[in-house]
Amino acid sequence: MTALHLTALHDSIERACCLVARSQWDRKAAAHAEIFSLLADVVDDPALAPLLSGGAGYVRELMQGAGRAADSMIVSSRRRLLAHLCAGDGEGAALEMGKHLRGLHFMWRLARRTAGALRT
């Protein structure tokens, strides 16, 4: 990643992190999902770019489903991702993103289960 790409990613993460989860969760989830689009723009892999770009919508859905309880986990993961990228550690960044997505998916499933139990 170039310094310009890292700056754009950093700025995007900061904007997303500064939104208030309590009152702006939909906007915050969309802002965090935008990061996948930024990564798609800079990845040097023609097979991976469309997956990242298309994955932004999926990640947004996971975040909205998991709800505000996922906020601190998401913010922490974004900061670790940025630290890996700034250090030139692509493998660490990929591992961080995988761990984050598994955790987010777990929280999404848990929220759905809880919501279903409340309806019964």
39-94 pLDDT, tens per residue?
888 887 888 888 888 888 888 889 999 988 889 999 999 999 999 999 999 899 98
Residue pair 103/66 in contact (Cβ under 8 Å)? The answer is: no
> Residue 13 carries which DSSP code?
H
Element (H, E) at 80: helix 71-86
The number of beta carbons lying within 10 Å of the beta carbon of residue 17 is 17
The ranges assigned to domains in the chain are 3-119
Residue pair 78/16 in contact (Cβ under 8 Å)? The answer is: yes
Report DSSP letters for 22-61, one per residue. Answer: HHHHHHHHHHHHHHHHHHHHH-S-TTHHHHHHHHHHHHHH
CA dist 56 and 35 (Å) reads 8
Confidence (pLDDT) at 84: 95
Q: Record the pTM.
A: 0.83
Token readout for 109 is 């499933």
**Confidence bin at 33 (pLDDT 50/70/90):** confident
Mean pLDDT (whole number) for 109-119: 76
Q: How high does pLDDT run on average in the chain?
A: 87
